[in-house]
Amino acid sequence: MQPQDLALTIFGSYLREPESLAWSGGMVELLRLFGFSTAASRAALSRLATRGLIARTKRGRKIYYRLTPRASALLVEGDRRIFTFGRSNDRDVESHWTILWHWLPEGSHIERARLGRRLRFLGFGLVQDGTWVAPHDRGKEVTELLHALGVADHAYLVVGEPTKALDMRTVIRQAWDLEAMTERYEAFLAEFGPYRAERLRGQLDRRDAFFVRTRAVHLFRGFPFLDPEFPDRFMPQPGLRPQVISTFEELYESLRDNATRYFDAIARGDPGMANSSGEHIDSAEQAGGSVP
């Protein structure tokens, strides 16, 4: 878990209203809940700003952050993938696969890295240098991606039906690590499955609700990079993915209110309670009174 990625998860989960602001000191305190030092947290926020994903604004002596239009667009795209994950039609895998070839010019290191990351998020696996494959028809998404990165003139895309004369498991084994995927699913269920019990969720105060929900969202965000949504018959443990999805959805909704209240109290400086014990928390005191 990297602090930059986690910070973006937090912004995306709790600060989506246009022009909404989060206090930098509060964000540092929230990242500290997950074990990151003050220095690492501030560096992560600074790097997100340098990447153009968050923008700084100053009010009095305090620094606040907001999402940039670029970040908002990426989060909308991510939400579309995450909240439809696991709901694809299995028959589409039998009839449609997408193949991308690209030959990016020398010096296109940034574009190559961004393309690779976005392709993996769309479910693509790399079979050899410059050649990516994915089950399902991803033509529209990839075409938009190639144009957005300015590399459409250096790529070619094919959507077609795989031959039934050869076993597609050969490609699957080469391009994806199904065992690692299964291990990540099992770990997710081991950590978060117990919270499906209403009794256990009821024991969480607002800080704990924020921690559990945010960690669940962050880890779930990684699954589209690993799992291109194969039908269960290709999976080492059929039925495992649906359990993960239903667990995520239940925690995401049931812990939303308390987690959001905690975020608002710490990062947005809203008056009120940061936990359910009746203790009022001033966000400046909570973060040690510092003004990053």
CATH architecture of 89-174: 2-Layer Sandwich (3.30)
Average pLDDT, the chain: 87
User: What residues contact 287, with CB distance under 8 A and at least 6 apart?
Assistant: 25, 26, 28, 29, 266
Biggest alpha carbon–alpha carbon distance for the chain: 69
Nearest one of 157, 162, 215 to 187, comparing CA atoms: 215
Q: What proportion of the chain, given as a percentage, has pLDDT over 90?
A: 60
Query: What pLDDT score does 146 carry?
Result: 93
Burial of 106: CB neighbours in 10 Å, binned 0-12, 13-18, 19+: exposed
pLDDT-derived band at 288, boundaries 50, 70, 90: very low
pLDDT digit string, tens, across residues 131-168: 999 988 899 999 999 999 999 999 999 999 888 877 88
pLDDT digit string, tens, across residues 5-14: 999 999 999 9
Altogether, the residues listed in the chain come to a count of 292
Query: What pLDDT score does 282 carry?
Result: 42
pLDDT digit string, tens, across residues 260-287: 999 999 998 654 445 554 343 443 333 3
The answer, yes or no, to whether residue 289 has pLDDT greater than 50, is no
- Which has the higher per-residue pLDDT, 236 or 101? 101
Residues paired with 158 in a beta bridge: 99
Question: How far is it, in rounded angstroms, from Cα 18 to Cα 16?
Answer: 6
The answer, yes or no, to whether residue 95 has pLDDT greater than 90, is no
The answer, yes or no, to whether residue 107 has pLDDT greater than 90, is no
pLDDT digit string, tens, across residues 168-216: 888 888 889 989 999 999 999 999 999 999 999 999 999 999 999 999 9
User: What residues contact 175, with CB distance under 8 A and at least 6 apart?
Assistant: 125, 126, 127, 133
Query: What pLDDT score does 292 carry?
Result: 31
Domain boundaries, the chain: 89-174, 176-278
The answer, yes or no, to whether residue 290 has pLDDT greater than 60, is no
Query: What pLDDT score does 93 carry?
Result: 63
Query: What pLDDT score does 94 carry?
Result: 65
pLDDT digit string, tens, across residues 108-119: 888 899 999 999
The answer, yes or no, to whether residue 122 has pLDDT greater than 80, is yes
- Which has the higher per-residue pLDDT, 78 or 100? 100
